[in-house]
């Protein structure tokens, strides 16, 4: 909104021309979200403590986690507050892609809020797996239906990019809608499952958003996307500002969430972050590449699927505990070391991903 109010005066004040550049608004979006997180973080954490919104610690998990009892959760509120403030200031609201992101933030944040609230105040284990999956898939469908209806003139609407393959494939509309809704719902779950150690999900999400920010800029640029043989999506440029907003918000959140954490993001944060990552992958036509970009999230999700499947079929466990980060904890690896190593692996994967964009 600030952009729309201020930029109209650029004909009188030439300096305001800088705000038409994506790079400038992206930088300000990151800085704004970071500062907002630091300013609001302490206040929100104290409010959560006052309301006794404390993390429920699993008694069947690593015993070291019992020392975290009393740490406030639902810190995802900090991320959402900082991100929305940043978008109000620096996003262009004449770009429909912004609205898909806002719907994703609100919908998946609401699911997370319900889940956290039921765990803390109703005395249950939260939303049932079935209810959560249904709500996530419905959210994915809402976003995809909006996208298909509002972007119907986009020539490559139902295209699917395959990494290392020169030309995209075109999917049938009904299959595309179901597939992309599934992608969005799945990534909401993947990030949620990874959120088990201080700063783990927040740090990996930060790197993924930074990578998607670069890719959104490239894909939104006609010359760069043509050179790299990527589907050109003109509106995706604005997603650079979105990704930068999340990078700033997550950097600020890590100020409070790194080991030992002063606050946990809770499902309101992890479900929302994953849902938005999935949404962005759909909008920039990189649903398949996200399997590589979000490699750690994929591994964590697969470890849970393998563990559950193995136990149901053979009554034996593959890992000491799933998701995978808990397996390493029970093997005696310290929590900070697991977190940093997972971050390092993520960075290496992302560097490899960006370096191979031209390999088609």
Burial of 184 (C-beta count, 10 Å sphere; 0-12/13-18/19+): buried
**pTM: predicted TM-score of the whole model, two decimal places:** 0.94
Residue 210's pLDDT is: 97
Q: How far apart are CA 322 and CA 327, in angstroms?
A: 6
Residue pLDDT, tens place only, 39-60 = 999 999 999 998 888 776 665 5
The residue with tokens 């998701």 is 323
The pLDDT-based confidence of 122 (bands split at 50, 70, 90) is low
Q: How far apart are CA 257 and CA 259, in angstroms?
A: 7
User: In this model, does residue 196 exceed pLDDT 90?
Assistant: no
Residue 112's pLDDT is: 96
Q: What percent of the chain has pLDDT over 90?
A: 73
Higher pLDDT, 345 or 120: 345
User: In this model, does residue 318 exceed pLDDT 70?
Assistant: yes
Work out the angle between the directed axes of helices 96-117 and 238-257 (0-180°, nearest 10). 30
Q: How far apart are CA 265 and CA 201, in angstroms?
A: 9
> Which is it for the CA torsion 130, 305, 199, 182, positive or negative?
negative
Residue 121's pLDDT is: 74
Alpha-carbon separation of residue 110 from 80, 147, 207, 270 (angstroms): 11, 20, 24, 11
Question: How many C-alpha atoms does 320 have within 13 Å on its Cβ side?
Answer: 11
Higher pLDDT, 127 or 30: 30
Q: How far is CA 129 from the centre of its chain?
A: 20
Q: What are the phi and psi torsion angles at 21 (to 5°)?
A: -85, 130
Q: How far is CA 210 from the centre of its chain?
A: 11
Residue 1's pLDDT is: 66
Residue pLDDT, tens place only, 267-305 = 999 999 999 999 999 999 999 999 999 999 999 999 999
Contact 253, 37 (CB under 8 A): yes
User: In this model, does residue 179 exceed pLDDT 90?
Assistant: yes
Higher pLDDT, 12 or 325: 325
DSSP β-bridge partners for residue 159: 170
Quickly list DSSP for 120-141: III-SSSS-HHHHHHHHHHHHH
């Amino acid at each position: 909104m600030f952009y729309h109010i201020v930029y109209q005066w650029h004909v009188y004040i030439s300096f305001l021309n800088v705000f038409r550049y994506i790079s400038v608004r992206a930088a300000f979006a990151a800085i704004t979200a970071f500062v907002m997180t630091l300013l609001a973080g302490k206040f929100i954490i104290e409010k959560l403590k006052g309301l006794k919104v404390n993390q429920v610690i699993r008694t069947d998990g690593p015993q070291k986690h019992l020392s975290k009892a009393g740490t406030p959760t639902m810190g995802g509120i900090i991320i959402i507050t900082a991100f929305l403030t940043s978008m109000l200031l620096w996003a262009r609201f004449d770009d429909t892609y912004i609205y898909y992101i806002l719907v994703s933030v609100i919908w998946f944040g609401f699911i997370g809020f319900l889940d956290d609230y039921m765990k803390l105040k109703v005395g249950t284990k939260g939303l049932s797996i079935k209810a959560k999956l249904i709500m996530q898939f419905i959210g994915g469908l809402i976003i995809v239906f909006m996208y298909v209806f509002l972007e119907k003139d986009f020539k490559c609407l139902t295209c699917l990019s395959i990494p290392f393959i020169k030309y995209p494939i075109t999917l049938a509309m009904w299959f595309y809608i179901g597939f992309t809704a599934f992608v969005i719902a799945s990534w909401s779950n993947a990030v949620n499952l990874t959120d088990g150690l201080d700063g783990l999900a927040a740090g990996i999400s930060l790197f993924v958003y930074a990578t998607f920010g670069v890719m959104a800029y490239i894909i939104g640029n006609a010359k760069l996307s043509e050179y790299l043989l990527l589907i050109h999506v003109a509106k995706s440029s604005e997603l650079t500002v979105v990704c930068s907003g999340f990078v700033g918000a997550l950097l600020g959140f890590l100020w409070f969430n790194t080991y030992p954490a002063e606050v946990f993001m809770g499902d309101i944060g992890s479900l929302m972050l994953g849902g938005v990552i999935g949404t962005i992958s759909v909008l920039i036509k990189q649903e398949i590449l996200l399997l590589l970009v979000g490699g750690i999230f994929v591994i964590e999700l697969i470890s849970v699927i393998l563990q559950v499947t193995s136990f149901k079929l053979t009554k034996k466990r593959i890992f000491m505990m799933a998701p995978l980060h808990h397996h390493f904890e029970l093997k005696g690896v310290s929590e900070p070391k697991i977190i940093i190593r997972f971050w390092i692996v993520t960075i290496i994967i992302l560097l490899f991903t960006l370096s191979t964009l031209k390999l088609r």
